[in-house]
Chains A and B, each alone.
Chain A
C-alpha cells in the first residue's frame, strides 16, 4: 500500500509540471470535442494528432494523447444524452437511459451525473491500475515467447469476437494487418520483404498513415455515405445557473452502489485484451438492470441506467492501460494507436517499462487521475460551450478532418508514398466499415505484427519446430484453452444465430406463400 502512494507521489511530481498540465488540458479538451462527433472516435483522434506531438517530450506527448483517449469517453456521452447519437461506441449504452432522461426534461441532471459517474469510474480505474499494473508486470516477467504470442492471438480474437458481428471477417481483418506488418526488412536474415525495390518501404509500413486512413478517412467516408453531412443540426442551449440543471440528492443516493458496481465491471472488461469500454459499458448496464428491484424503469429515463455504463466505460479506459503498460498488448484500436505512439518514442511497453521508466509510467497514471479531475470540472462548467459544437454542421467538419489527416500524415516523414497510403487505406477502411470488417483488428495486428512474428518463431525454435510448446507450459496451456474455448463458443453461437435466422426466413416465406 505504501508503495502505491510512493509511486503515485512520483507520478504526481512528473504530471504536475506546468508543461505536462498544459498539454493534459489540451488533450482532454480535444478528446471531449473528438467524442462529440459521431463516427470520429478516440483512435482516429489520437492517430491524427500524433504528428502534432513530435516536438514534445515523450512523457508529455503520451499524457496528451491519453487525455484524448479518456476525454472522448466524456464527450461521447453528451451526444448520447442530447441527440440519441453516441459519439463513440463505448457510449452506446448511455443512450438507453440518457436520451429518455433528456426527453423527460432532465438533460441537465443527466449531463452532470454522467460527468460525476465518469469521474468516479475513472478514479476507481486509476486506483486499480496502481494496484494491478506492478502485479501484472511482475507476473508477466515470467512469460516466454509462447505466452506472448498466445496473448497477442487472444487479444485479437477477443477483439474480433466481442466487437464484431462476423468472426470470419474479423479474422481476415487481423490477418490483413499482419500482412501489412510483413513489409520491410526481416529482422533476423536482413532480407527485404514486399518492398518491390522501393527505398521508402525498406523501413516497413508505418502504422500512423494506416491508422489515420482506416479510422480517419475511412470513418469519414462512411459518415458521408450514410448521409450525416445532410442532417440538420439540432439547436440546443443550456445554462448551469438554472436550478433544474443539477441532479437531486435522490439521484445520488439511488445510484450509490451503481457507481461501485459499474466501476469494477468496467475495469475488469478494460483489463481483458480486446474487450474494452464498449463491452464494459453494455455489461454494466445489463447487470445493473438485472440486480435492480424495478428493472421496468430502465430504458424510461432511469439515472442508474446512465450511471452504470458511464462509470464502466471510464473505468474500462483506465483498465485498458494495464495490459498496455505491463504486457505491451493493447486491447482496442485506440490503445493500439497509443502503443504505436509509445514505440515511436522508443518506449517499449512490457514488464520492464515500469522498472526502467517508473517516472514515465507513474507520471502517465497520475496524469490520468488529474485528467479525470479536469474533465469533471470542464464537463460541468463548460457543458453549454461543448453543446455549441453540436451546432456546427458535419459538412463543415469534413474539410478539417481531411486536411488534418493529409497534412498530419505528410508531416510525419515528408513522404508522398505515406500520404497516398493514407488515401488507399481510407478507401479500404470505408469498405471494411461498410461490409462488416474490423479496422481496429487490422491496426492492432499491424502494431503487434513484428512481436507476433518474433515470438512465434522464437517459440518454434525453442520447441524444436514443434507446436507443442503452446500447450506444454502451464500458462501457455491455460491461454490455449481459453483461445480454443472462445473459438468454439463463437462458432456455436453463430450456428445458433444462423438457425434462428433461417427459421425466421422460412416462416416469412410460409406466410407469403400461403
Chain B
C-alpha cells in the first residue's frame, strides 16, 4: 500500500511536469523565466524526489521481506481498514447527495448511515442525533451566517 502511494505521487509528478512542459513557456521571448519556469522546476524536483523515494521503498520492501522470512514476522498493528473505507464511502455519498437532496437532508442521511454502522442498537438516540446535529449546523450556517446552502430537488433547504 505504501509503495502504491509513493508510485502514485511519482505518476502525479510526471503528469504535472509533462503538462507544464508542454503547455507553458519555460522562458519568455526575451529569454527571462516565463510562466512555466517555476512549475517545471518544481516538477523536476518532484520527479527526482518521488522517484528516489520509490527506489528507497522498493529496497526497504525487499529488505523487510528477507528479514521477515528469517525472523518470522507475526506482529501486525491492529488497524481498522474496513471502518476507514466505510467512513470514506459515506463522505462520498454525503457529497453525491449534497446537491440532490439539499444540505439538511444530506446531513441527516449521512448521520443516519454513519450511526447505523458505528453506533448500532441505539435507534432512538441515533434518530435524535441525526436530526438535532444537522439542525444545529443548518441554523448556524444558513440562518446565522446566511451561507447559501443547496436546497436540493425537494426544495428542502
Query: Residues 105-133 of chain B: 1 if any A CB is under 8 Å from the residue's CB, otherwise 0?
Result: 00100110011001100000000010001
Instruction: Judge whether B38 and A456 touch: CB under 8 Å.
Output: yes
A225–B81 contact, CB under 8 A? yes
Taking CB atoms and an 8 Å cut-off, the chain B residues in 1-52 that contact chain A are 2, 5-6, 9, 13, 16, 19-20, 23-25, 28, 32-39, 42-43, 45-46, 49-50, 52
**In contact, A407 and B46 (Cβ under 8 angstroms):** no
Docked pose: A175 CA to B42 CA in angstroms: 6
Contacts of B88 in A (CB 8 A): 221, 426-427, 430
- Using an 8 Å CB-CB cutoff, how does the interface string of B61-92 with A read, 1 for contact, 0 for none? 00000010011000001111101100110111
Contact A396 B83 (CB under 8 A): no
Question: Given the interface contacts A193-B20, A513-B70, does A224 sit within 8 Å of B83 by beta carbon?
Answer: yes
The answer to whether B107 and A179 have CB atoms under 8 Å apart is no
Determine whether the beta carbon of A229 is less than 8 Å from that of B9: no
Contact flags A105-148 to B (C-beta < 8 A → 1, else 0)? 00000000000000000000000000000000000000000000
B4 to chain A, nearest CB (A): 9
B71 in contact with A509 (CB, 8 Å): yes
Interface of A is mostly: helix
List the count of A-B residue pairs having beta carbons below 8 Å apart: 172
Interface pairs (29), CB distance under 8 Å? A52-B140, A52-B141, A55-B145, A172-B9, A179-B46, A182-B38, A191-B25, A191-B34, A193-B24, A193-B35, A194-B16, A220-B87, A221-B84, A221-B87, A226-B77, A227-B78, A402-B91, A403-B107, A403-B110, A406-B91, A407-B141, A411-B145, A416-B99, A426-B91, A430-B88, A435-B2, A461-B33, A508-B71, A513-B70
Complex: how many Å from CA A176 to CA B32? Answer: 25
Complex interface: chain A residues within 8 A of B39 (CB): 179, 182, 193-194
Residues of B within 8 A of A (CB): 2, 5-6, 9, 13, 16, 19-20, 23-25, 28, 32-39, 42-43, 45-46, 49-50, 52-53, 56, 67, 70-71, 77-81, 83-84, 87-88, 90-92, 94-95, 98-99, 103, 107, 110-111, 114-115, 118-119, 129, 133-134, 137, 140-141, 145-150
Q: How long is the Cα–Cα vector from A400 to B87 in the complex, in angstroms?
A: 13
Considering only residues 1-58 of chain A, those with a C-beta below 8 Å from chain B are 51-52, 54-55
